[in-house]
A and B are shown apart, each in its own frame.
Chain A
Amino acid sequence: MKFSRRGALGLALGGVAASMLPMRAMAAGAEEAIAAFTGGAAVGTEGLTLTAPEIAENGNTVPVAVNAPGAVAIAIFAAGNPTPGVATFTFGPAAGSQSASTRIRLSQTQDVVAVAKMADGSFVQASANVKVTIGGCGG
């Protein structure tokens, strides 16, 4: 997994620790992986922004960004990848903002899902469909 410099700088300035290793539990599928992160808790939809392109310019390196004010951790999942778990960003009390950006590889058109754990222990989720296309024929 490759960090963009900007993403890495942003993380460093924010006093954020990032764990980029895919969790083994996620290999079984995105739903299981998400459940492992949330512990099966109910997941809301407000308060997390996930930014991803509608159509990937290069499926091998798709920029995604997450922002969830007040979060203590944000996990990103690529629901259609063989290993859905992409990254979990954890934010300490000194973090200036609860946002991060990175680039991920998408094997095919799929939903990218982000789940944030808030300070009160609740969870919120956002998803974006990213299309990986052959291209050509633009008018």
Chain B
Amino acid sequence: MISRREFIQASLAASTILGASGLSRWSRAMAQQALTQDQLLQFDDFGNVTLIHITDIHAQAKPIYFREPEINLGVGEAKGVPPHVVGADFLKMFNIQPGTPEAYALTYENFTDLAKAYGKMGGMDRVATVVKAIRAARPEALLLDGGDTWHGSMTSLMTKGQDMVNIMNALGTDAMTSHWEWTFGQDRVKEIVESLPFPFLGANIFDAEWDEPAFEPYKIFERGGVRIAVIGQAFPYMPIANPKWMFPDFSFGIREERMQQVVDEVRAEGVDLVVCLSHNGFDVDRKMVSRVKGIDVILTGHTHDAVPEPVLVGDTILIASGSNGKFVSRVDLDVRDGRMMGFRHKLIPIFSDVITPDADMAALIDAERAPFKADLEEVVGQTESLLYRRGNFNGTWDDLICEAILSERDAEIAMSPGVRWGTTLLPGDAITREDIHNATSMTYGACYRTEMSGEMIHTIMEDVADNIFNADPYYQQGGDMVRIGGMGYHIDVSKPIGQRVTNMTLLKDGSAIDPARNYVVAGWASVNEGTEGPQIWDVIESHVRKIGTVKLEPNTSVVVTGA
């Protein structure tokens, strides 16, 4: 008897013969430099269910540049496998030619030249065009938002997420899950959720006092005669990675046994398809679906990975749809007799110069921005350097931010959080206030200044490193390494906690960090309540205005081994 997994793979092979691999078609089009909207959207309808996945938009309503990581190390079983493959290795793995639009969209090499050739990506008005086109072909398609939607821009901060709520409502979202949404505070989350025309799902969101489920865990949709359960999984480490005091009544966690229980519950209800809309992060999801049985499709989020083909784990397919509105995934499924028999997938790149903006959505976005337009567009300075963040260690945006902190706050050492959001600016670009917010916007952006012992700094470095490089994905929180200014260090990512970070050196005089000495440390995004200091975007703006033009030297202060 053919196993279910073999059946899916056999079906996948058949799909490939039909030319259904989204990527191969995409490649041919790109090779001819003939990018058209029709080619980007081309998809041979398959099966009877269509899922549309978008995640980690980080409130980027307008097209942006976003440079994919140059360093994205996997540890343990994740070493060297997607999404921990970058640059030339990524191109080779997915058979992509260097210099093509898809190489530009998915990797970092030669980013500046390719960005100038192929333009910005994303924009929710372009996303709306894509969603409408998919719905024209498949009216019953489900649009699922993986969260980190309401946060990440100046307009979302000013409107407490309302601009993105209005945009996602207009887009026709069917369900969402959450992470940074919670940094607007639990009262604001509850207020928005009450207004949403779709469910805000989180099987792992519990009442902190009673340790009981606090939000809708799943929703069952009937589409095309198929009963589809969509289970939400919010970011598991909310109260650890973000300020717990902003949502004191709620507890999160991976809660693997709870996920199994919910899957069993919807299976017992007789659904035909189980979809998990997750903000766990890719490696956590890969482990979770290897242990929780009965999930057909997991739509992953949080770690901002754009993977052009589904990753198969047992009978489950993992879909990773990138971030910042750069991509929309379309997943067509053949569901019969209560089983997923096959799938066809395409990671659709949103080339903003190719896809026509949807007029209604464009008007809505402009209306949301109108009250803040002058503030958003005010030019603060220029950059001669490529400014990007994403990557396991210091990117140029954080080099600039740390430089600003050291200078403006008169500190010896600067710390900038290793978040994965933050858009990219090209050499020659003006830096607007909005651009600075795209790298820093948050509800706890105070730039503190304090003293820490060398020992304390080491403890923090080790703690953060273990959140990224712990070999067990369930202990990974999904950020990148804290960025450091004024201090260099070596890191062996293969070592256990307490032994990874060595050779900590104060850069201004080359002295070794003394565990017993106190250092003046300034940083931002503290999770502690009552943190004081100017907002980080004001610190950066002040610095950039003084220097006029940003020119960064290559940063060689972090030496990485063990990868």
Interface residues of A (CB under 8 A from B): 4-6, 49, 51, 53-55, 57-58, 63, 101, 109, 131, 133-139
Known: A63-B211, A137-B525. A55 touches B240 (CB 8 A): yes
- A3 CB to nearest B CB, Å: 12
Q: Is the CB of B239 within 8 A of A4?
A: no
Q: Is the CB of B211 within 8 A of A137?
A: no
Contact of B251 among A57, A134, A138 (CB under 8 A): A57
Q: Name which of B15-23, B345-353, B478-486 contacts chain A.
A: B478-486
Q: Is the CB of B241 within 8 A of A54?
A: no
Q: Is the CB of A136 within 8 A of B526?
A: yes
Q: Is the CB of A54 within 8 A of B254?
A: yes
| B interface, size bucket | 35 or more
B118 in the interface (beta carbon within 8 A): no
A residues in contact with B475, CB < 8 Å: 54-55, 131
In the docked arrangement, what's the CA distance between A4 and B464, Å? Answer: 31
Q: Is the CB of B237 within 8 A of A58?
A: no
In the docked arrangement, what's the CA distance between A19 and B442, Å? Answer: 47
Q: Is the CB of A139 within 8 A of B420?
A: yes
Q: List 15 A-B contacts (CB under 8 A).
A: A6-B210, A6-B211, A53-B253, A57-B239, A57-B244, A63-B211, A109-B497, A133-B463, A134-B459, A137-B479, A138-B237, A138-B477, A139-B303, A139-B478, A139-B480
Name the 3 nearest CB pairs between A and B, nearest first: A138-B241, A139-B479, A139-B420
Q: Is the CB of B240 within 8 A of A135?
A: yes
Nearest residue, chain B, Cβ from A51: B257
- Chain A interface helix/strand/loop/mixed: loop
In the docked arrangement, what's the CA distance between A84 and B174, Å? Answer: 48
Nearest residue, chain A, Cβ from B417: A137
Q: Is the CB of A54 within 8 A of B419?
A: no
B residues in contact with A133, CB < 8 Å: 240, 463, 466-467
In the docked arrangement, what's the CA distance between A57 and B212, Å? Answer: 15
A residues in contact with B472, CB < 8 Å: 54
B residues in contact with A49, CB < 8 Å: 257
In the docked arrangement, what's the CA distance between A4 and B206, Å? Answer: 14
- A75 CB to nearest B CB, Å: 21
Q: C-beta contact mask, B246-273 vs A, less than 8 Å → 1, else 0?
A: 0000011110010000000000000000
In the docked arrangement, what's the CA distance between A139 and B478, Å? Answer: 6
- A13 CB to nearest B CB, Å: 15
Q: Is the CB of A57 within 8 A of B252?
A: yes
In the docked arrangement, what's the CA distance between A49 and B257, Å? Answer: 10
B543 in the interface (beta carbon within 8 A): no
Nearest residue, chain A, Cβ from B252: A57
Known: A51-B257, A54-B474, A55-B237. A137 touches B467 (CB 8 A): yes
In the docked arrangement, what's the CA distance between A42 and B368, Å? Answer: 67
B residues in contact with A53, CB < 8 Å: 253-254
- A53 CB to nearest B CB, Å: 5
B residues in contact with A131, CB < 8 Å: 466, 475
- B150 CB to nearest A CB, Å: 16
- A126 CB to nearest B CB, Å: 13
Contact of B302 among A58, A134, A139 (CB under 8 A): A139
Q: Is the CB of A135 within 8 A of B480?
A: no
Known: A138-B235, A138-B419. A101 touches B479 (CB 8 A): no
Nearest residue, chain A, Cβ from B456: A134
Known: A54-B474, A57-B252, A131-B475. A136 touches B211 (CB 8 A): no
Q: Is the CB of B240 within 8 A of A138?
A: yes
- A37 CB to nearest B CB, Å: 25
B527 in the interface (beta carbon within 8 A): yes
In the docked arrangement, what's the CA distance between A53 and B255, Å? Answer: 7
In the docked arrangement, what's the CA distance between A109 and B496, Å? Answer: 13
- A70 CB to nearest B CB, Å: 19
In the docked arrangement, what's the CA distance between A50 and B241, Å? Answer: 25
In the docked arrangement, what's the CA distance between A54 and B482, Å? Answer: 22
- B392 CB to nearest A CB, Å: 11
